[in-house]
């Protein structure tokens, strides 16, 4: 603390953005002037003995589906260009109360629908490790910004892996909290029973710092949990510089390495498990008999909820309004510049599965499968403390390669959707590289509200490995 002023940090981030974002395209808007002013105010407060939070005066990036009156919250969609909400997301209220500075909004798949960040209507984001590859999605802009060293931390949203998948593709860390641990008030909804806001950073200690600030009960969110928030940072500090994992049981699904995993992912995950074992953790074989049904159940549930949530964007309540033109012309203009292909696809799928004659066959059945997956995960945790899984089946693929094959992109979520369906927390960590130096990752799932356990294991792993310190070649 005190080695740098907040203004110097913000200006350094702005300079880095100017140098790199023309190549990466991670950001949709940058609050340069306002951020410098807020940094100067933070420096004055600190000089007067105020602003003791570790986040005070630090710049962050937020996904463009978090609302704030001072920021355009467009969800990377033409239909919401220019939209500013009259209220502020609860997580942003908490960050501002801690003195953090929102420096920029990050690109994303439109309305958070996608796993590659190629579905943005407002620009293309590249992976800083290889500008010809996708950064993952839907929080791809936030992950790419972190990998490009533009900011020290970010907030994204995770519906079926949307912060963990880009974290794996870009070589950064991310945490999807327990459903209800972090308020969703002010998050523009995709699938309300699955969405969770979570922190993204380059290491676990920074994730703990962000989570401790944004977590906690919020009476404005009916799904918010009442449970108190642990002092995550203090818990990690007590572990020391070379923490061990003696007594921690790591559950490994029995058929994990029989699945259609890329050879590089198999190798890196095996090596990560070996590191955990050397630190004292005990591997335990567990069963997840319905895991293979997760992707199908997830895409039925999330599209159904999306079709309901997005019905409000009818060209009247939201959209591009042009002063002096009548409603009919405004409506036509809004719809012609409205939803992109992927969003339309999911609305149509969701509307179909909720329609008369198909509701029981699809949506109800998917919810029944969700219950089975919840039970499988709960049963697994009777024999282990954390579950270890790959984050993705492979590394980032070339831009444009799978645009015409959405099913292959949906299948990338096979390991990540389990945490969202079960409502449990999940921590994504970098754990290696392919032969052509593209990042690979694995994830740890925990019991409900056991974020502290995940952070402990992740922090111990990162204390004995260096994958999270690797720098993208920009």
Catalytic annotation, pick one of 138, 139, 268, 307: 138
How far, in Å, CA of 432 to CA of 174, rounded?
A: 16
SS3 content of the chain, % helix, strand, coil (to 5): 40, 15, 45
Catalytic residue among 157, 162, 183, 460: 162
Distance CA 437, CA 414 (A): 23
Helix axis angle for 204-214 and 90-97, nearest 10°, is 110
- CB neighbour burial string for 395-407, b if at least 16 within 10 angstroms, e if fewer: bbbebeebeeebe
Q: What angle do CA 109, 111, 114 make, to 5 degrees?
A: 40
Report the alpha-carbon distance of residue 38 to residue 288 in Å, rounded.
49
Beta-bridged to residue 71, according to DSSP, are: 68
Does the annotation mark 138 as catalytic? yes
Of 6, 63, 77, 115, the catalytic one is 63
Please count the other Cβ atoms lying within 10 Å of the Cβ belonging to residue 289: 14
- Residues facing residue 127 across a β-bridge: 130
63 catalytic residue (yes or no): yes
Residue-wise DSSP of 171-237: T-EEEEPPTTTB--TTBPPSSTTT-EEEEEESSHHHHHHHHHHHBS--TT-TT---PPPP-HHHHHH
- How far apart are alpha carbons 111 and 306 in whole angstroms? 9
Q: Which residues are catalytic?
A: 63, 138, 162
């Amino acid at each position: 603390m005190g080695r740098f002023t907040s203004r110097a940090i913000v200006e350094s981030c702005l300079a880095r953005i100017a140098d790199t974002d023309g190549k990466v395209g991670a950001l949709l808007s940058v609050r340069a002037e306002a951020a410098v002013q807020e940094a100067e105010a933070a420096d004055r407060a600190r000089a007067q003995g105020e602003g003791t939070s570790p986040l005070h005066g630090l710049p962050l990036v937020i996904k463009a589906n978090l609302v704030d009156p001072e920021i355009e919250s467009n969800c990377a969609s033409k239909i919401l260009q220019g939209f500013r909400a009259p209220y502020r997301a609860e997580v942003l209220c908490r960050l501002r109360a801690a003195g953090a500075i929102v420096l920029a909004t990050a690109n994303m798949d439109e309305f958070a629908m996608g796993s590659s960040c190629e579905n943005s209507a407002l620009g293309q984001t590249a992976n800083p490790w290889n500008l010809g590859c996708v950064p993952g999605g839907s929080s791809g802009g936030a992950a790419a910004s972190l990998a490009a060293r533009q900011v020290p931390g970010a907030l994204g949203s995770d519906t079926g892996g949307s912060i963990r998948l880009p974290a794996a593709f870009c070589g950064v860390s991310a945490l999807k909290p327990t459903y209800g641990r972090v308020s969703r008030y002010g998050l523009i909804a995709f699938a309300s029973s699955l969405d969770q806001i979570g922190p993204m950073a380059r290491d676990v200690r920074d994730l703990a710092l962000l989570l401790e600030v944004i977590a906690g009960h919020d009476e404005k969110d009916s799904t918010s949990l009442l449970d108190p928030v642990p002092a995550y940072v203090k818990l990690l500090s007590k572990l020391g510089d070379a923490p061990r994992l003696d007594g921690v049981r790591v559950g490994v699904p029995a058929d994990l390495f029989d699945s259609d995993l890329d050879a590089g992912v198999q190798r890196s995950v095996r090596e990560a498990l070996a590191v955990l074992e050397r630190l004292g953790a005990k591997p335990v074989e567990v069963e997840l008999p319905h895991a293979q049904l997760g992707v199908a159940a997830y895409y039925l549930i999330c599209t159904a909820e999306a079709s309901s949530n997005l019905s409000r964007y009818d060209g009247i309540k939201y959209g591009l309004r042009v002063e002096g033109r009548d409603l009919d012309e405004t409506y036509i203009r809004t719809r012609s510049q409205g939803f992109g292909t992927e969003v339309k696809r999911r609305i149509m799928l969701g509307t179909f599965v909720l329609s008369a004659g198909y509701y029981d066959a699809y949506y109800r059945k998917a919810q029944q499968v969700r219950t089975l997956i919840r039970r499988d995960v709960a049963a697994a945790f009777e024999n282990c403390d954390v579950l270890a899984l790959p984050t993705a089946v492979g590394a980032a693929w070339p831009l444009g390669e799978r645009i015409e094959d959405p099913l292959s992109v949906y299948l990338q979520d096979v390991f990540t959707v389990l945490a969202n369906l079960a409502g449990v927390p999940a921590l994504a960590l970098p754990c290696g590289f392919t032969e052509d130096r593209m990042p690979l990752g694995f994830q740890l799932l925990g019991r409900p509200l056991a974020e502290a356990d995940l952070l402990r294991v992740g922090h111990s792993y990162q204390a004995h490995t260096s994958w999270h310190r690797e720098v993208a070649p920009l």
